[in-house]
Amino acid sequence: MKTTLAYLPPFILCCLFSSYSVVAQQSETDEKDGSMKEQKHHEDPTRILTRVGVGYDGQLTFNGTLGLDETRMIRGQINEDASEWQLGGSWLFEKGILNVYMNGHEQRNTYSIGTFVPLNKLGVDTGKWQVFPMAGANFVEGKKGNSNSTGAYVGGFVIRPINEHWSVLAYSGISAGSSDYLGVWGGVGASYKITSKQSIRLMASYSEDSYRTDNKVSISYSYEF
């Protein structure tokens, strides 16, 4: 026996059309949510996402982030011989992001809490540049006879999209603390967006503090889930 819509009871038809309406509305909502997420640049430091990456700066480095929900994320990074590492978490708020992390190498361990705040969230028109001031507090635990230090840091990170694939990146900062601790750092480079989920970054960086001086040229690849 053939069954057509004409022979279905009215309440079943209502259920079918109601289900279609709900699915259509959910699809539209998901599409809008996806569009809102896509508004952020792939190098935006206030993004919450799940991503894995690998890089080379004289040693292989491995990094990743795990988005727990829409506002929380954990992150980590380590090099091939585990002589340098970083572990932390992020919480996203309406005006910016709060980061808590620790990192270490053979000269010191650093424990930090700080934030990035997009200037456009504060109503500042930065044109084609995306500007993210950063500031925070830190505790530096010296190793091999180096003294400890409690202090703070300020700096900034900027993104200048060139086209849909290429962007220029730059950052700089300064930190100061007790025991005459002083540190400066900076870097400049470019990012290439291969697809919506893949990107490559090339950076030249320099850092110097009371414990050591370091300069690197690095290349890294990232994949988002």
Q: Enumerate residues 6+ apart whose C-beta is below 8 A from 72.
A: 48, 89, 90, 91, 92
Report the alpha-carbon angle 79-89-87, nearest 5: 25
Over residues 59-85, mean pLDDT: 96
CB atoms within 10 A of CB 173: 20
- Measure the CA–CA gap between 42 and 197, rounded to whole angstroms: 9
User: 29-51 pLDDT, tens per residue?
Assistant: 444 444 444 479 999 999 999 99
pLDDT above 80: residue 91: yes
Over residues 12-40, mean pLDDT: 46
- Measure the CA–CA gap between 131 and 212, rounded to whole angstroms: 29
Q: Do residues 89 and 76 make contact, with C-beta atoms less than 8 angstroms apart?
A: no
Q: Do residues 64 and 80 make contact, with C-beta atoms less than 8 angstroms apart?
A: no
DSSP string, 91-149: EE-SS-EEEEEEEE-SSEEEEEEEEE--GGGGT---TT-EEEEEEEEEEEEE-TTPPPE
pTM for this model (two decimals): 0.79
Q: Do residues 75 and 88 make contact, with C-beta atoms less than 8 angstroms apart?
A: yes
Overall CATH class of domain 40-224: mainly beta
Beta-bridge partners for 104: 85, 109
In this structure, which long-range contacts are made by residues 204-207, counting pairs with CB atoms below 8 Å and at least 24 apart in sequence? 207/183
What pLDDT does residue 77 have? 97
User: 116-163 pLDDT, tens per residue?
Assistant: 999 999 999 999 999 999 999 999 998 877 789 999 999 999 999 999
Sequence spans of domains, the chain:
10-35, 40-224
Lowest mean pLDDT among 6-20, 61-75, 78-92, 157-171: 6-20
% of the chain exceeding 90 in pLDDT: 76
pLDDT above 70: residue 73: yes
What pLDDT does residue 88 have? 98
User: 159-191 pLDDT, tens per residue?
Assistant: 999 999 999 999 999 999 999 999 999 999 999
Between the alpha carbon of residue 10 and those of residues 2, 4, 58, 85, the distances in Å are 18, 12, 71, 64
Q: Enumerate residues 6+ apart whose C-beta is below 8 A from 27.
A: none
Task: Measure CA 150 to chain center.
Answer: 25
Most confident listed range (15-29, 33-47, 182-196, 207-221): 182-196
- Measure the CA–CA gap between 18 and 14, rounded to whole angstroms: 6
What pLDDT does residue 6 have? 42
One-letter amino acid at 221 equals Y
- Mean confidence (pLDDT) of the chain: 86
